[in-house]
């Protein structure tokens, strides 16, 4: 049984701070719509949310490569590389 540390452990606080900010940004989008703000202004705010989430995703991927992939070997490493490429593929398409 593994009780290993995750790849993003070192950045955990930073990631949580960014997610709290993203949650706030999503609430701002909802408030803008509730107040009938102009569609284009809402879309500009949504683009900011998307960039912020991309940033969190790239941070997690980075931790995964640096620790989970590089820090493993054999079968486990092959599996983690497959998972990495699957995750990158989903990000590129999304």
Residues that bind its own copies (CB under 8 A): 5-9, 12, 15-16, 19-20, 22-23, 26-27, 29-30, 33-34, 36-40, 42-44, 46-47, 49-51, 53-54, 56-58, 60-66, 68-70, 77, 80-81, 83-94
Rounded Cα distance, 15 and 71, in Å: 21
Q: What are phi and psi of 38, to 5 degrees?
A: -60, 130
48 Cβ contact list (under 8 Å, min separation 6): 25
Output the smallest distance, CB 75 to its own copies, in A. 13
Output the smallest distance, CB 68 to its own copies, in A. 6
């Amino acid at each position: 049984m593994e009780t290993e540390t995750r790849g993003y452990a070192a950045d955990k606080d930073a990631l949580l701070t960014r997610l709290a900010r993203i949650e706030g940004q999503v609430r701002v989008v909802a408030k803008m719509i509730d107040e009938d703000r102009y569609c284009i202004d809402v879309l500009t705010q949504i683009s900011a949310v998307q960039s912020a989430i991309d940033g969190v995703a790239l941070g997690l991927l980075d931790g995964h490569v640096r620790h989970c992939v590089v820090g493993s070997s054999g079968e486990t490493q092959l599996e983690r590389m497959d998972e990495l490429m699957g995750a990158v593929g989903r990000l590129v398409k999304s």
